[in-house]
Every structure is written in C-alpha cells, then in structure tokens.
C-alpha cells in the first residue's frame, strides 16, 4: 500500500528561511531519478521521469472556475499519482454539480476511491480551507489576477490558465504576490512542455539556423478583440452574473460568454467562452493564442523576462510588427500553410513549429526523440512536481508576464493606431501617458487590485 505524505504550503511560506527548510524536507520530489531526461536544459532544467511510488507526496487540489477548460485539466490532474481533488468553486451552480459528477466518474474509471468533494459559490471560501495545498484557476481572464493573488496570500500554490492576467498591471502585481509569499505559480502555456516546441527553441538558441533575423507568428484571425455586440438574453437559473462580471463594467448576459450546459441529458459546452473575443472581457486571439505562440517566439529568441522595444500596428496591408533591440523583427499574421504557429528565420536556415508539426530547412534539425506516454499531460505533472520540490515550473510567473506583455502591447498599439516604444526592463511605455494609461483599467463594483 502506498503511503502519501501530505504537504501544507500555508504554514511554510512566510519567509525564505522556512522556504529553504521546506525544500530540504521535500528534496526527493514526487518522481524518482531513474528515467531518460527529455526536456531541454534551457532557462530551467526539467526532466520527465518515471514515477517512483516511494517518493510520492499527496498534493491536495481545489479548482476555481470549472468550465470547459477545467474539465480537461481535471481529467489530466487526476491521473497523476498522489493528486487529490478536494473542492471546487464557481458562480454557476450546474457546473459545480458537473464537477462532482466528473470527479466520481474519473475516480471509478481509474479504479480509485471516490473522494468527498465540496463546492462553493465563493472562491474565498475554498481558499480558506487549510487542507488544500494548491489551486487550479481556470476562470475568465478578468478574474485571474484577483483570484491568483488571493490564493498566494492564502498560502496556496497556483496552476493558472493563460494568459497570465487581463492587464499588464495585474500581471505585475501578481508576480510580486508570488515572490512575496514564496508560492509556486505555473502558467498553463502547455506548449513549453511539448517536445516539438522544446526542440524548436533549443535548436534556435543553439544557433542551428544561424543568427535569427525575423520571426513569423500566427495567432489566428481576427487578431484583435472587438467591442461587445452580442444581444441580451435571460439569465439561466443558478448563474450569479454580477459576480461573474466582478471588476468589469456592467455588460448584459449572453450565453456565449458563459456557455450553458445540461446534466440530464448530459450536454457540455458547444463552444469556448466567447469572452475571449471582446474588448470588454478579453484580448482576442492576441492574448488567447498569442499567449501560446508569442511564448514560444520569446523563448526561442532568448527573450524570456524581456521583450521587444517597439511595436508597430498593422495597417494599409502591413502586418503588426515587433522590433527587438538586437534588430530582430517579429511579424504577426498567417504564413505558409496558415497554421497557428511560429517560424524562426535565420541567416543559415529556418525552423517552423506548430501543434503536431515541425519542419526546418535542414532535415537533420528535426526532433528524433519521442516522449513516453506517462498517462497524464507532462505540463500538469511539471506543476505537481514543482509544488513538491519547491522549484520554479517550466513557465513561472515572470515568463507568463513577459509573454502577456507582448500580447497586450500589440493590442494597445492597434487600438491607438500608432507605433509605441516599450521599455522591457521598466515594463512601461516610454514617455507615453496615453499608452501607459492602458496598462490597466478602473475596477468597478467595489473591487480593488
């Protein structure tokens, strides 16, 4: 019989001394050290290893926001040895009911005991639980900062869906909260844990295509969000719309923002939440898929925790373009087959990568390793392993922030309709009050950052 050791970050995260002591206690981590290392040693060394049952620790999870994306994360997390599901919170009651049913089903499918799962309308009640080590936050973007900061302050570690936050100011404040509390925060930019994307970044950083001159990035179209234009619909029973809005200015309900589901018969979401598409609630493809594709572009350019110095909006047939201090240009728009992806172009060749695809000017640059089937997504495992070992995950908060910045300053340049100069060190626009005013928005309904 396996005996799991339970961790409780809340009492161990008050200062660096306690954090170091905790790291010593959890030094072995969740996995053994007997298998092949497959992840590249770039900014952070990460390895996929075969679980060693003797080294496992229980990590007790709560979920905040249990829509369509959370269901996929739940399915993956529950397959990782040692993970326990304790609770969930959401403003839509029927999705909480579905969450409990889904936990029951997955547990039975895996031959595991069905856990007692508590549900809450208010995420703060979940965060008050001392028996929860970490939370998965899969709420709409405008709630990311408030929920994640509160989680860090409550002593929880956080798996946070991308993009990091809705605004740059929110991301900056979240980064402070993570480091102040000694929390582990992993951003759900799962392409960093994909072998093709990892290999692409490694080859570019190693100079295999020579000096990089240009990067092409396709995030999807339309790239930028549009004003909210959906018709008003009656609120469904069990949905707290005012709380769903949170700090946003008031807009009326439409089911596309929070897709309805049924349990009998079971009918899950037919679409992804359309809040992504509107200026009032999201950042369009620039932040939705840009949080994936710009993330890889930045990684391959060695610009994690940094970024471009100028952004030029697209107009009159010219694409949105970013310029880096070293002369590299990053151009946004469809290329080649039109897949959402990234193409690095150097003076000695090129590498192109998208989901499920890798191509290069030199066939010898293609990846030759195959990732073993662990039975669960490696990106989720990386978070759990990071929680236990008290180490930065493959996408820590500062990397999530620099990616968010690239996404968002592109939207700001588009909205203002003029080139903008950006200081990647100070994380602010250079002598531009109008642009800097768009690093955040005025919270309403009594909320404060």
Quote the CA–CA distance of 305 and 175 in Å, as a whole number. Answer: 12
Quote the CA–CA distance of 122 and 424 in Å, as a whole number. Answer: 36
Quote the CA–CA distance of 151 and 83 in Å, as a whole number. Answer: 18
CB 409 within 8 Å of CB 311: yes
CB 269 within 8 Å of CB 116: no
CATH classification number, 59-190, choose in 1.20.1290.10, 3.40.50.720, 3.20.20.60, 3.90.550.10: 3.40.50.720
Q: Which residue has the higher pLDDT, 187 or 29?
A: 187
pLDDT digits (tens, 9 = 90+) for 45-58: 344 454 554 455 68
Quote the CA–CA distance of 186 and 362 in Å, as a whole number. Answer: 34
Give 323's DSSP letter: E
Quote the CA–CA distance of 289 and 303 in Å, as a whole number. Answer: 18
Least confidently predicted of 23-32, 92-101, 388-397: 23-32
Tell me the pLDDT of the chain averaged across its residues: 89
pTM of the model as a whole? 0.90
State the number of CA atoms in the 13 A half-sphere of 76 facing the CB: 20
Mean pLDDT of 363-384: 90
Give 278's DSSP letter: B
Instruction: Give the model's pLDDT for residue 26.
Output: 31
Instruction: Give the model's pLDDT for residue 371.
Output: 76
> What are the tokens at 116?
């007692």
Prior bond of 135 cis (ω within 30°) = no
Quote the CA–CA distance of 64 and 184 in Å, as a whole number. Answer: 17
pLDDT > 50? residue 177: yes
pLDDT > 50? residue 150: yes
Spell out the domain ranges in the chain. 59-190
pLDDT > 60? residue 18: no
Instruction: Give the model's pLDDT for residue 268.
Output: 96
CB 341 within 8 Å of CB 357: yes
pLDDT digits (tens, 9 = 90+) for 112-128: 999 999 999 999 999 99
Q: Which residue has the higher pLDDT, 26 or 361?
A: 361
Quote the CA–CA distance of 9 and 18 in Å, as a whole number. Answer: 10
pLDDT > 60? residue 12: no
Query: What percent of the chain is predicted at pLDDT more than 90?
Result: 85
Instruction: Give the model's pLDDT for residue 19.
Output: 38
pLDDT > 80? residue 24: no
User: To which residue do tokens 């234009």 refer?
Assistant: 229
Instruction: pLDDT band for 30, please (50, 70, 90 cuts).
Output: very low
Instruction: Give the model's pLDDT for residue 55.
Output: 54
Quote the CA–CA distance of 36 and 410 in Å, as a whole number. Answer: 40
- R_g of the chain computed on alpha carbons: 22
Instruction: Give the model's pLDDT for residue 10.
Output: 38
pLDDT > 70? residue 228: yes
Q: Which helix (H) or strand (E) holds 300?
A: helix 290-300
Give 432's DSSP letter: -
Instruction: Give the model's pLDDT for residue 56.
Output: 56
- Residue 87: phi and psi, rounded to 5, are -165, 165
Residue 198, C-beta contacts closer than 8 angstroms, at least 6 positions apart: 39, 40, 42, 192
Query: What percent of the chain is predicted at pLDDT more than 70?
Result: 87
Instruction: Give the model's pLDDT for residue 422.
Output: 98
Mean pLDDT of 287-309: 98
pLDDT > 50? residue 222: yes
Instruction: pLDDT band for 403, please (50, 70, 90 cuts).
Output: very high
pLDDT > 50? residue 189: yes
């Amino acid at each position: 019989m396996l005996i799991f050791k339970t961790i409780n970050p809340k009492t161990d995260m008050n200062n660096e001394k306690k954090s170091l002591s905790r790291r010593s206690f959890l030094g072995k981590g969740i996995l053994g050290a007997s298998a092949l290392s497959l992840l590249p040693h770039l900014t952070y060394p990460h390895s996929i290893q075969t679980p060693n049952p003797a080294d496992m620790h229980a990590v007790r999870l709560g979920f905040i926001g249990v829509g369509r994306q959370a269901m996929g994360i739940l399915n993956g997390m529950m397959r990782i040895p040692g993970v326990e599901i304790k609770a969930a919170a959401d403003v839509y009651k029927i999705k909480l009911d579905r969450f409990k049913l889904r936990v029951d089903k997955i547990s039975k499918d895996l031959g595991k005991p069905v856990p007692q799962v508590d549900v809450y309308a208010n995420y703060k009640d979940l965060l008050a639980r001392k028996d929860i080590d970490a939370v998965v936050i899969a709420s709409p973007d405008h709630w990311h900062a408030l929920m994640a900061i509160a989680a860090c302050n409550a002593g929880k570690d956080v798996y946070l869906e991308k993009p990091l936050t809705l605004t740059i100011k929110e991301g900056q404040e979240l980064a402070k909260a993570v480091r102040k509390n000694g929390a582990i925060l992993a951003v759900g930019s799962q392409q960093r844990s994909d072998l093709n994307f990892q290999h692409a970044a490694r080859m570019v950083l190693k100079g295999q295509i020579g000096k990089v001159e240009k990067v092409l990035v396709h995030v999807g179209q339309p790239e930028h969000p549009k004003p909210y234009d959906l018709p008003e619909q009656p609120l469904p029973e069990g949905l707290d719309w005012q709380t769903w809005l949170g700090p946003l200015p008031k807009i009326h309900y439409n089911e596309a923002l929070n897709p309805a589901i049924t349990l009998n018969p079971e009918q899950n979401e037919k679409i992804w939440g359309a809040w992504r598409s509107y200026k009032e609630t999201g950042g369009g493809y620039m932040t939705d898929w840009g949080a994936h594709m710009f993330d890889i572009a930045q990684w391959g350019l060695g610009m994690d925790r940094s970024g471009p110095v100028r952004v030029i909006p697209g107009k009159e047939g010219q694409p949105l373009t970013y310029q880096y201090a070293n002369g590299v240009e990053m151009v946004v728009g469809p290329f080649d087959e039109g897949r959402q992806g990234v193409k690095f172009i150097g003076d000695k060749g090129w590498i192109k990568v998208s989901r499920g695809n890798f191509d290069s000017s030199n066939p010898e640059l293609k990846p030759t390793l195959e990732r073993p089937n662990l039975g669960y997504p490696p990106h989720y495992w990386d978070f759990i392993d990071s929680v236990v070992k008290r180490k930065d995950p493959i996408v820590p908060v500062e990397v999530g922030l620099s990616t968010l910045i690239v996404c968002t300053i592109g939207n700001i340049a588009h909205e203002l309709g003029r080139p903008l100069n950006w200081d990647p060190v100070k994380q602010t626009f250079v002598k531009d009050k109008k642009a800097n005013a768009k690093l955040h928005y005025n919270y309403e309904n009594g909320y404060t950052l």
